[in-house]
Chains A and B, each alone.
Chain A
Amino acid sequence: MDVLFPRTLEELQKLRTKTPGSLVMAGGTDLLVKIRKTGQKPTAIFCIERIAELQRLDVLDDEIVIGAAVTLQQLLECDTIKTELTALFEALSALASPPVRHSATLVGNVCTASPAGDTLPPLYVFAAEVEISNTSGRRRQSIAEFITGPGKTTLQPDEIVTAVRVPKPVDGMHSVYYKVGKRKAMAIAVASMAARFEFGEAGAIKNIKMAWGSVGPTVVRAIDVEAYLTGCPLSVDYLREAGRLASAAVCPIDDVRASADYRRQVTGNLLLRLARDKRD
């Protein structure tokens, strides 16, 4: 299996075009594990870690642009992410382990598109977009439209994701990420929840967006839960009712880690964590 390090996107595209059966690797923490498990080696692996354009981590006025080669550790060290995209920061902190985070990438996590991917619920609530490069140019797509099923995206054979773009939140926006795993570190999420919201008059919720992971083939949004909570305070009673709606909105499966029933229960219960985290 050939392993090459193109220096530019153009070089990468050329290599891919003339090497059928090749795969693109960012951090490799999903890809190499998969290759080992299935025993199916690609004809070649093209690593993107030396493409300058993909290393960009730009905090702009209205958005943060995270290149495909940016590692999770780099993101953890970015102040803006820690203070303004708290849900993403919390997801990154809960993902895998320190050495994995030194090579794993956000874009990699997005492209793997696991229903349990930790970064996904936050990216959904932040309305992140993926930026895709192909032989004809570039295209953008919201993450919700990009991921179509477990492990499935709209990525075409000649395409690669070059960046994830996350709109910068307004002042006063709060966000959280809750993860339930089978242990406190290095755990695939059994259920997870991201939420972003602002407080309006008298502590009432406005502009709330929520997303749940590991409880459906892709990240689940529930407009009715958001609608219900809009204008409500973050009190236990309202959150309990919202939790009932959320449980009804998700479609988890049984697997070796947990049953669908448990996942459904936890989905609803996690809303109550917002009550604990009351902010004024």
Chain B
Amino acid sequence: MTLNFILNGKNLSVETSPDRRVVDLLREDLGLSGTKECCGSGECGACTILVDGESRLSCLMLAAQLEGRTLLTIEGLASNGELHVVQQAFVDHGGVQCGFCTPGMVLATLDLLRRIPDPTRAEVRRELSGNLCRCTGYQKIVDAVMAAARTLNGGMS
């Protein structure tokens, strides 16, 4: 079937089988391997993307569900080579080690800051509890998110 949706700001028309998992569509068909798969069953959050601004697990989404929707994957976040505030914060505060959880973690962070613009550390941990990380122990990820929130709030908290 033909699907029409907006991907990273661009209109896209894709021919695919309706039951193709979105994570496979992105990685294998569209060459966007920034979105990772690491469990395939909704337990790790590595496949997180934003659909109409909301975080969703792309391993539990079927291609047909994309019709008419607006998707943001990690590749669409930086603009003109400039990192988004959240991405920069992850870089600066040591929130990236092996990097495999990072795309999902960054997008989950965007979702969290949209809903809670000025979170506490505890709230950050709660809202990122759906994204597993095996390298960092989470602390520097929380540091990064808190710093990003401060920056986005105009340096105030």
Is B117 among interface residues, defined by CB-CB distance under 8 A?
no
A215 to B72, CA, bound (A): 41
A2: B residues at CB distance < 8 A: 18-19
Q: In the bound complex, what is the Cα–Cα distance between A96 and B112 (angstroms)?
A: 15
| B19 in contact with A186 (CB, 8 Å) | no
Which stretch in B7-15, B53-61, B88-96, B146-154 binds the other chain? Answer: B53-61
Q: How large is the interface on B (under 10, 10 to 19, 20 to 34, 35 or more residues)?
A: 20 to 34
Contact residue among A5, A33, A41, A98 (Cβ-Cβ distance under 8 Å from B108): A98
Q: Is the CB of B40 within 8 A of A49?
A: no
Task: Report Cα–Cα, A32/B40, bound state, in Å.
Answer: 10
- Could you list 22 examples of A-B contacts with CB < 8 Å? A2-B19, A3-B18, A3-B19, A3-B64, A33-B41, A33-B42, A41-B19, A73-B54, A96-B42, A97-B129, A97-B130, A99-B45, A99-B56, A99-B57, A99-B130, A100-B60, A100-B130, A102-B55, A102-B56, A103-B60, A185-B129, A186-B43
Instruction: Give the interface of A toward B (CB within 8 A).
Output: 1-5, 28-29, 32-33, 36-37, 41, 45, 47, 49, 73, 96-100, 102-103, 184-186
Report the minimum CB–CB distance from B103 to chain A (whole Å): 13
- Residues of B contacting A41 with CB < 8 Å? 19
**Looking across the interface, which residue of chain A has its beta carbon closest to that of B65?**
A47
Q: Which residues of B contact A (CB under 8 A)?
A: 17-19, 40-43, 45, 48, 54-57, 60-65, 67, 108, 111-112, 126-127, 129-131
Determine the distance from Cα of A202 to Cα of B85 in the docked complex, in whole angstroms.
55
- Given A1-B19, A37-B41: A28 touches B60 (CB 8 Å cut-off): yes
Residue of A nearest to B1 (CB): A3
Name the A residues within 8 Å of B40 (CB-CB). Answer: 36
Counting chain A CB atoms within 10 Å of each CB, which of B41, B55, B60, B129 scores highest? B60
